Structure 1
Amino acid sequence: MGACLGVPERRGSGVGSAFSDSSLSPTTKNKPLKEEKIKWKSDIPLTEFQLTRKRNEFWDTAPAFEGKSEVWAALKAATDAVSKDDYSLAQAILDGAGISLPGGSLVECYDELGTRYSIPIYCLSWPANLISATDRDSPAEFSEPVIIDPVELKVKVRISLTGLDVKLNLNSTDTISAAKKKLAEQEELPNDSRQRWYYGGKLLGDRTRIGEANIPPNHLIQCIVNILEFDIIQTQ
């Protein structure tokens, strides 16, 4: 694994953030994946259920960031292999996708074009202060979510295609994914379109429930709509 891939190196590492970017600074670093789990402590103690949901939300939204979707898919597969302590498989996946690790860790990765990808620590290992869902001494706010009766909510969504603000009647238990479908039906959006919802500059994950997003009345959700285009090959 000492081969020079000529990938760029970027100073500064957003260990806890999900993003990718490009740099023009050359480097020759590419180390094998380290067979060790990163030790860390969460600012707010989480249960295994809450951390798993946080991980799912990251992988649901990661392809929306800069970078190739196939590279994100390979990083997800490598991360899953690491969670099972199968480092040989993880390394094979990284090699097959042309992904290099300057520090030997998935917190900083580069593809063959020099685009930088960052996997947050909480996707790579469990925190030292993980709490049990049955721990009676844990604070109520750290316990599993309690299912409550849905509350009707009215939200405003600004659609990038038209620039218009539309109103949606939703339930607090509706997921962002379900709300997107309701918006597509109500506004008759193209079938080949893809929606990304932002509130306060933050991308809302498809599995997030409307009630969990804590969006005050009359506040605006930005909906970026992209039309998926496919090349049609003519056959004789």
Structure 2
Amino acid sequence: MGCGTSVPEFDENEGHYTKVSKPNPWAYTKPITRTELMKMRDEFWDTAPHYGGHKEIWDALRAAAEAELSLAQSIVDSAGIIVASADMTTCYDERGAKYELPKYVLSEPTNLIHDD
């Protein structure tokens, strides 16, 4: 997601986060190029609807993952997505379907290398 910062707000009554935030820094298992990262992202989004849930929610999650935080928040809110982890790695739709997103679709790893 984008470069902005946000403090996640947890709603104790509802048991989920009300604000999305940028994922914590992470590293892929080995150094990875931008081309490899984009290929992994494309493969994930192409196959995501097969993991269950609803295509329109997967589409909204992709749009949110690729947007700046403020826009991502608006997308999540308007799609009725329940954010179980502030970094959007675990979400639910209003019907209770679970959506798990790998960090590589939400942010770049710390060991990203330039393509040669």
**TM-score normalised per structure 1:** 0.42
Q: Please say if 1:128 is aligned against 2:114.
A: no
Q: Post-superposition shift, 1:64?
A: 1.6
Q: Distance in 2 between matches of 1:95 and 1:29?
A: 16
2:46 is paired with a residue whose SS is helix
1:104 is aligned to: 86
Aligned residues: 107
Q: Distance in 2 between matches of 1:39 and 1:33?
A: 18
2:17 is aligned to: 31
2:59 is aligned to: 73
Larger helix proportion of the pair? 2
Q: Distance in 2 between matches of 1:56 and 1:132?
A: 19
Match of 2:97 among 115, 118, 123: 115
Cα distance, 1:3–1:40 mapped onto 2, change above 3 Å: closer
Q: Please say if 1:58 is aligned against 2:40.
A: no
1:114 is paired with a residue whose SS is coil
Greater relative contact order: 1 or 2 (C-alpha under 8 angstroms, separation 6 or more)?
A: 2
**TM-score normalised per structure 2:** 0.82
Larger strand proportion of the pair? 1
Q: How high is the sequence identity, in percent, across the aligned residues?
A: 40
Q: Post-superposition shift, 1:35?
A: 3.2
Q: Which runs of 5+ in 1 are unaligned?
A: 5-27, 135-236
- What CA RMSD, in Å, does the superposition of the two structures yield over aligned residues? 1.8
4+ residue segments displaced more than 6 Å: none
Q: Distance in 1 between matches of 2:21 and 2:55?
A: 26
2:112 is paired with a residue whose SS is coil
Q: Post-superposition shift, 1:115?
A: 1.1
Q: Distance in 2 between matches of 1:87 and 1:63?
A: 23
* The structure with more radius of gyration: 1
